[in-house]
A = this chain, B = another copy of it.
Amino acid sequence: MNLLTVGTVAFDDIETPHGKAEMAIGGAATYISLAAAHFTDKVLLVSVIGDDFPQDTLDHLKGQGVDLDGLQVKEGEKSFFWAGRYHDNMNSRDTLVTDLNVLADFDPVLPESYKDADYVMLGNLTPAVQMRVIEQLDKAPKLIGLDTMNFWMDNTLDSLLDVLKKIDVLMINDEEARQLSGEYSLVKAAKVIHEMGPSTLIVKKGEHGALLFKDNEIFFAPALPLNEVTDPTGAGDTFAGGFMGYLAMTDDTSFENMKRAIVYGSAMASFCVEKFSIERLVGLEKEDIRDRIRQFVQLVNFDAKL
């Protein structure tokens, strides 16, 4: 099955306690596509860039099976740019620069061949842009996932609530789940958010793992404890790409399969943070991913002897 994704394709300046990267390849849709392409036969990318984006990265995406027909290239304009600095604990960061550039008036246009997409992942963007993508679909996809952030809750809550009615899986962090629901307990938050539309909630907790809430069932996947986290940028998008890519590959949206998809998403994210930018996702082999899944099994596996 194919996976349509919309999100930024961008440049990042990143500073962490482990080093710096300047004009590094970034963007939600970049990470989502690269992670998903390890699973699905076809990723349909919707985004916008300027004429400053490197051709070799576009070639790499194409080589991975990412369809770029939905990628608008604006001549004489610059790609979206973000600069940030991580604190010592890597769990929080300051945004230093946000240059919207081509993103300022981004109007996503779906090529005809995208309009019957099987699976859809709406990366973190203005809710109105996410809605524009949904509106252009000819038929209801099997599953729509959506990422968002507190900024849209603060500033465009009504249009966020509109788009939530249309989607199946909401992926946000614990702070955002609490803000959106007004509930501190994540169990209660999941119930409130379920009423807003999404049948499934994934709470991303970074180094503390991820929780999956569907109906009255809960599943927890830890993050893999790592020797070194070099750069957390893109980890959430890589998680989403692995999760959605695995669902698209297996074409199975049952709770049992979503559990596996979460573990695959966590495995992809654990690679992402080991190096700057998309470096670690490039050239990753199927066997690397399987090895890491085995580590996840080891990490949580116990015989309760009940």
The answer to whether B227 and A187 have CB atoms under 8 Å apart is yes
The answer to whether B302 and A219 have CB atoms under 8 Å apart is yes
How many angstroms from the CA of A280 to the CA of B256 in the assembled complex? 33
How many angstroms from the CA of A297 to the CA of B220 in the assembled complex? 10
| Contact partner, A306, options B225, B290, B299, Cβ 8 Å | B290
A104 within 8 A of B: no
Contact A226/B299 with A290-B306, A304-B263 known, Cβ cut-off 8 Å: no
| Residue among A17, A205, A219, A263 facing the most chain B CB atoms (10 A cut-off) | A219
Kindly list chain B residues whose C-beta atoms are within 8 Å of the C-beta of A3: none
Kindly list chain B residues whose C-beta atoms are within 8 Å of the C-beta of A294: 304, 306
Tell me how many residues of A have a C-beta within 8 Å of chain B: 41
How many angstroms from the CA of A296 to the CA of B89 in the assembled complex? 29
CB distance from A291 to the nearest CB of B (A): 10
- Mark each residue of chain A from 190 to 225: 1 if its CB lies under 8 Å from any CB of chain B, else 0: 000000000000000100110100000111111001
The answer to whether B187 and A225 have CB atoms under 8 Å apart is yes
A9 within 8 A of B: no
Contact A256/B303 with A220-B222, A222-B209, A225-B220 known, Cβ cut-off 8 Å: yes
A184 within 8 A of B: yes
CB distance from A174 to the nearest CB of B (A): 9
A228 within 8 A of B: yes
A185 within 8 A of B: yes
A229 within 8 A of B: yes
| Contact partner, A188, options B187, B227, B303, Cβ 8 Å | B227
7 residue pairs, one from A and one from B, having the closest CB atoms: A208-B208, A259-B302, A220-B222, A300-B300, A187-B227, A187-B225, A220-B299
Other A-B contacts than A17-B184, A294-B306, A297-B304, 16 sampled, CB-CB below 8 A, are A185-B225, A185-B227, A185-B229, A187-B227, A188-B227, A188-B228, A218-B225, A219-B299, A220-B222, A220-B300, A222-B222, A256-B303, A259-B302, A260-B302, A260-B303, A263-B304
By a beta-carbon cutoff of 8 Å, the part of chain A in contact with chain B is 17, 88-90, 184-188, 205, 208-209, 211, 217-222, 225-229, 256, 259-260, 263, 290, 293-294, 296-300, 302-306
